[in-house]
Copies of this chain bind each other. A is one copy, B any other.
């Protein structure tokens, strides 16, 4: 029922029966609604790239008796259990001890870990208090996963034909540890693929079922392919893999390229780059620059680009103009245009786009102006917006009408605007390489 669902899950690596993965996320802050459960989203995404679907995620408090109640059930169910949180130095960080007791396995003090922790404190010029000692315990027959970004190392244990992986809570410690130490170990054990199991095509502007219909003739010529569609943020990804291993990666890539060619400008890119990233990279390659002007999206459009690494190479700046006055003052929108057509109009969108491009000497100007839908959660309503685009090939505007609450409409308008810019940049590239096209 929720909008973005994949058609079917990615199958496990060829020739293996699918191992059951479970993630145990610990922390009151998750259950009290203070912190989103970002580890689920991140770890789930990483595993799915390697051909594994997380079987279950259980979130409980990090209190000792809650862990003691939950862990045995999880251990009985799963082949691989990942835990996050509760490895720190304070007395309420009891995960390590409670799980060791549940497994009936002793923890042993490890001089090597203690040395690392002391060295870290010395580097930071801070005293190492005695409670840090507990972070130097590991399973007697287990391994230690180094943590260059914090004191608590991760723990790895193979026991009873299962794998237990205990990770620290902070994302900037958990994520590099998972990529550098957990994924390679799991791949060596054959519990997930040692590289991405699929080739991913990102598309924009085509719905899931239309995409399937367009690709079907290609898939029909290659029996036995695994296909999954996944819609998110009004884009659809298509993942192509080979469940029984009959297509090597190179063949999958070739099929994906056939699909991309068929799609034309609806094809965004291979892999995991976001729409703003792909668009920004296109502009950088062309040596083109961009400036943006926005009303109702209030900074979201600018932030989509400034959030990219190296944005200053193509992004000249942005203007959030909330009033007619600021549209005149900062964007040179003529007063008569605003009074004749209003601020939510095709004319105003174009004037904003050309105005900001001129002010900031940018090649492209992208603008959004509009009415949002209602902002409260319950109301459905709809938003009416205009996108303006100034490009080396001309100036255009486009009307958008989206249903849904304000937050949704905003994000959707930003996606649509950026996709339009991308298409224009693609068209310009094509024109540069083949003067007769378009």
* Partner-contacting stretch, out of A40-48, A252-260, A390-398, A419-427: A40-48
Query: Min CB distance, A226 to chain B, in Å?
Result: 14
Q: A36-B41, A149-B378, A377-B175 are in contact. Are A330 and B319 (CB under 8 A)?
A: yes
What bracket does the count of chain A residues touching chain B fall in?
A: 35 or more
With A3-B170, A312-B323, A325-B361 known as contacts, the answer to whether A40 contacts B33 (CB < 8 A) is yes
Q: Using an 8 Å CB-CB cutoff, how does the interface string of A352-378 with B read, 1 for contact, 0 for none?
A: 000000011100000000000001011
Q: Are A53 and B32 in contact (CB under 8 A)?
A: yes
A22 to B173, CA, bound (A): 29
Choose among B1, B37, B326 the residue that contacts A36 (Cβ–Cβ < 8 A): B37
Contact with A34, one of B32, B45, B292, B300 (Cβ below 8 angstroms):
B45
Q: What 1/0 flags go to A154-182 for Cβ under 8 Å of B? A: 00000000000000111110011000000
Instruction: Decide if A338 is an interface residue (CB 8 Å cutoff).
Output: no
Where the two chains meet, the residues of A that have a C-beta atom closer than 8 Å to any C-beta of B are: 1-6, 9-10, 27-38, 40-48, 53-61, 70, 73, 85-88, 90, 93, 148-149, 152, 168-172, 175-176, 230, 232, 292, 296-303, 305-307, 309, 311-312, 315-323, 325-326, 329-330, 359-361, 375, 377-380, 404-405, 408
Contacting pair B306 A316 (CB below 8 A) = no
Contact B33 A5 (CB under 8 A): no
Q: How far is the CA of A23 from the CA of B405 in the complex (A)?
A: 25
Complex Cα spacing A204 to B401, Å: 40
Decide: A42 and B33 in contact? CB cutoff 8 A: yes
Of A31, A46, A297, A377, chain B has the most CB atoms within 10 Å of the CB of A31
A30–B54 Cα distance when bound, in Å, is: 9
Q: A29-B4, A57-B58, A319-B319 given as contacts; is B36 within 8 A of A171 (CB)?
A: no
Q: Are B9 and A149 in contact (CB under 8 A)?
A: no
Contacts A32-B45, A309-B375, A360-B326 given; indicate if A57 touches B59 (C-beta within 8 A). Answer: yes
Q: Are A322 and B330 in contact (CB under 8 A)?
A: no
Q: Which residue of B lies closest to A63 (CB)?
A: B9
Of all chain B residues, the one with the shortest Cβ separation from A43 is B33
Specify which chain B residues have a CB less than 8 angstroms from the CB of A299 in the assembled complex: 299-303, 306, 318, 320
Once A1-B170, A320-B319, A377-B175 are accepted as A-B contacts, the answer to whether A32 and B56 lie under 8 Å apart by CB is no
Q: Which residues of B contact A319 (CB under 8 A)?
A: 317-320, 330
* A46/B29 contact (C-beta < 8 A), A298-B303, A311-B322 known: no
Does B28 lie within 8 Å of A86, measured CB to CB? Answer: no
